[in-house]
Structure 1
Amino acid sequence: MSISDGDFRRMVDFIKSSYGIDLSQKKQLITGRLSPTIRKLGYKSFSEFVNHLLEKRDESEVTLVINKLTTNYTFFMREQEHLDYFYKSIIPALVRRHQRDKVLSIWSAGCSSGEEPYNISMLLFDYLGNQAKDWDTRILATDISAQALSKAQKGVYDLPDTIPSDWKKKYFTANKDGSYTVAPAVRNNVIFRPFNLMDPIAFRRKFDLIFCRNVMIYFDQPTKDALVRRFYDATVPGGYLLISYSENLSPNMPYRRLATATFQK
């Protein structure tokens, strides 16, 4: 099913203005991934679908488009060197800072199918050991994709070889089909919520640490810069922003660089 240049531009503008995702170079992706679904929904053309999408803003159809056009690809221990820096340098600094209140405020922004916030929880539990029960380390994990959040909340995964063998025993339960379910203590440490990163960031607390890895690859530079400024405003003084190794911040951004893909307010 083909899409006219006019309908392509209308859809691209709608997705970018509403969700920040830049699909201006993705015409083939849009036609390839959406055509079968559009036919299945009973639309006779892309034009009919785009008209309905923009007029009705039907949440289920908008969600369907987002799910089809973004890749919710992630895995445990992704960019392990980055997580090692988090474990060896950032966690100790946060623990020292919060010795009195024992409350950490961490946000996994664009958490996809949940591996990242669960991974962060496991690292925190490993570091704190027996003291973990005395700390509030609950992580806010948000994503725009309802489909990704549904998978995340179930917490069932095929584990890669990068997972330490002792973690499989401590933090997972083996299932008969070879998959693993995240242990209740780890699942209860993550609060999943839908959130559009283009919306104002107005959570109750400011964050000690924001993970936003492999999310801004979908955004153009002005959208990235605006989001990073909102992250900065939502970060406590001395707090951190961690992005992916494949991303970087503009030179004029307010955070200072600590290490690769690691920044501090």
Structure 2
Amino acid sequence: MSATLQAPDPGEIQLSAAEFADLAARVRRVSGIALGEGKRDLVHGRLRRRLRALRLPSFAAYIAVLDGPEGAEEEVRMINAITTNLTGFFREPHHFAHLAQQLLPALPRQGRRLRIWSAGCSSGEEPYSIAMTLCQAMPDLAQWDARILATDIDTDMVALGTAGRYAAERAASIPPALRQAHVRALDAETVEMAPSLKALVRFLPLNLLGAWPMRGRFDAVFCRNVVIYFDKPTQARLFDRFADILVPGGHLYVGHSETLHRVSDRFQHLGRTVHRLVR
């Protein structure tokens, strides 16, 4: 009687220091995310699901897959597994208040063109919050050429954002009037963004450290709770690129724990993690 061989439970597989260093170097090269030794347990926990899916006996075998003919495809799945996707509707609400009360009223009426980029959009709650803010603050929005670009390195998150469907409990943070106007209940547990809202947002997979295919400049960039995973030189290069793609006087919104102090001198700090391009 023959026994069926099974791969060990990935939860029992150890991630050696050398294997962690190899994987961390790959993640940093592809995404810019810096994983210190303190993230070793996180990497083990996130990637053991990939070992289980691929029925691999060790992290050494996983690294061999990354070096093999299907490595590029698995690299995408690895980054999807590693990236943190903590988000929510109207998270850090002061940014949306500033957008509605300060940035939008000051837009030049000539041309009526508006472009906003949600860089590192995760599963889409941020760009949809931006879209709802535009609808509420701009009664004449239909007369504008307004678009929101939403990008993320995690292709799974981009797919979720494109679908625009969320657990009903996640929509509880949307102000009631906006929820009534722009959110549709599919059933007791699931809601969907209204088609008119989806039409304002275009989701695309994008690595912030790679080439940016966009043409034209943006009035505002939301890049919140993203650069905390990058080292200072990488942050400086990214902020320079944001400055180059913003219109004169354009705005940059960053996360509550992020700062441009001693990283970029191209923006004026307006308070509460809001910055305006000055050069």
Q: TM-score, normalising length from structure 2?
A: 0.88
- How far did 1:83 drift? 1.5
Name the structure 1 match of 2:211: 200
> Match for 1:44 among 29, 54, 57?
57
- How far did 1:229 drift? 1.0
Q: Check the 8 A contact 2:66/2:72 in 1, yes or no.
A: no
Q: Deviations over 1:95-123 (max 9, x none)?
A: xx2x1111111111011101111110111
> Match for 1:128 among 122, 126, 138?
138
Q: Could you tell me which amino acid in structure 2 is paired with residue 196 of structure 1?
A: N
Relative to 1, partners in 2 of residues 1:8 and 1:174: Cα closer, same or farther, differing over 3 Å?
same
Name the structure 2 match of 1:111: 121
Counterparts of 1:100 and 1:40 in 2: how far apart (Å)? Answer: 54
Name the structure 2 match of 1:11: 23
**1:24 and 2:24 are equivalent in the alignment:** no
- How far did 1:63 drift? 2.2
Counterparts of 2:117 and 2:271 in 1: how far apart (Å)? Answer: 19
Counterparts of 2:274 and 2:67 in 1: how far apart (Å)? Answer: 38
- How far did 1:250 drift? 3.1
Relative to 1, partners in 2 of residues 1:43 and 1:210: Cα closer, same or farther, differing over 3 Å?
same
Q: Check the 8 A contact 2:253/2:273 in 1, yes or no.
A: yes
- Aligned counterparts, 1:66-215, within 5 A: 66-94=79-107, 97=108, 99-129=109-139, 131-157=140-166, 158=168, 159-215=170-226
- SS of the residue corresponding to residue 88 of structure 2 reads coil
- How far did 1:184 drift? 0.5
Which shows bigger deviation, 228-237 or 243-252?
A: 243-252
Q: Check the 8 A contact 1:144/1:194 in 2, yes or no.
A: yes
Q: Could you tell me which amino acid in structure 1 is paired with residue 160 of structure 2?
A: K
- The 4+ residue runs of structure 1 with deviation greater than 3 A are 54-57
- How far did 1:202 drift? 4.2
Q: Check the 8 A contact 2:232/2:263 in 1, yes or no.
A: no
Counterparts of 1:37 and 1:51 in 2: how far apart (Å)? Answer: 13
> Match for 1:58 among 49, 68, 71?
71
- SS of the residue corresponding to residue 104 of structure 1 reads strand
Relative to 1, partners in 2 of residues 1:261 and 1:147: Cα closer, same or farther, differing over 3 Å?
same
Structure of greater Rg: 2
Q: Check the 8 A contact 1:201/1:234 in 2, yes or no.
A: no
- How far did 1:154 drift? 1.0
Which shows bigger deviation, 250-259 or 82-91?
A: 250-259
Q: Deviations over 1:167-223 (max 9, x none)?
A: 122111112223211000100100111100001334111111111011112212221
Counterparts of 2:271 and 2:212 in 1: how far apart (Å)? Answer: 25
Name the structure 1 match of 2:8: none
Task: Note the residue ranges of structure 2 that are not aligned, 5 or more in a row.
Answer: 1-12
Counterparts of 2:45 and 2:187 in 1: how far apart (Å)? Answer: 36
Q: Check the 8 A contact 1:118/1:186 in 2, yes or no.
A: yes
- SS of the residue corresponding to residue 145 of structure 2 reads coil
Q: Check the 8 A contact 2:235/2:263 in 1, yes or no.
A: no
Relative to 1, partners in 2 of residues 1:252 and 1:212: Cα closer, same or farther, differing over 3 Å?
closer
Q: Check the 8 A contact 1:210/1:240 in 2, yes or no.
A: yes
State the percentage of identical aligned residues.
Answer: 36
Task: Note the residue ranges of structure 1 that are not aligned, 5 or more in a row.
Answer: none
Q: Could you tell me which amino acid in structure 2 is paired with residue 118 of structure 1?
A: Y
Q: TM-score, normalising length from structure 1?
A: 0.93
- How far did 1:55 drift? 4.4
Q: Deviations over 1:120-147 (max 9, x none)?
A: 0111111111x11101211011001111
Counterparts of 1:52 and 1:236 in 2: how far apart (Å)? Answer: 44
Which shows bigger deviation, 18-27 or 144-153?
A: 18-27
